[in-house]
Amino acid sequence: DLSRIVPFGQLEAVLAADLFNKTGRRRGSRFDCLIAATAIKAQAEVATVNQSDFKVFVQHGLKLAGAPLPTPPPASQATTGN
């Protein structure tokens, strides 16, 4: 079910802290750790265009959904700045 709300509790918090410590304690990754831990515990995939920040969690059980990159508009629709 893609529309379910996944709770964040003590188990997710402990896993998030563990992921933070195991992946280099990068300050900017705190919220990524929370998201990854929640998805791992829920056995859910994470769909994001920012896959590079989440790939580090794959070895810890995170599943990333395959997301195609946005397609640029055709050259005929590109803005010319005029």
pLDDT at 56 > cutoff 60? yes
pLDDT at 32 > cutoff 70? yes
pLDDT confidence of residue 68? 56
pLDDT confidence of residue 66? 80
pLDDT confidence of residue 35? 97
**46 DSSP β-pair partners:** 64
Rg over alpha carbons for the chain, rounded to the nearest Å, is: 17
pLDDT at 81 > cutoff 60? no
DSSP track, 7-56: P--HHHHHHHHHHHHHTT--GGGHHHHHHHHHHHHHT-EE--S-HHHHGG
pLDDT confidence of residue 21? 97
Structure tokens at 57: 């969690």
User: Tens of pLDDT along 64-75?
Assistant: 998 555 566 777
Structure tokens at 5: 């709300």
**Cα separation, 62 vs 56, whole angstroms:** 9
Average pLDDT, the chain: 87
Q: Which residue has the tokens 């005029």?
A: 82
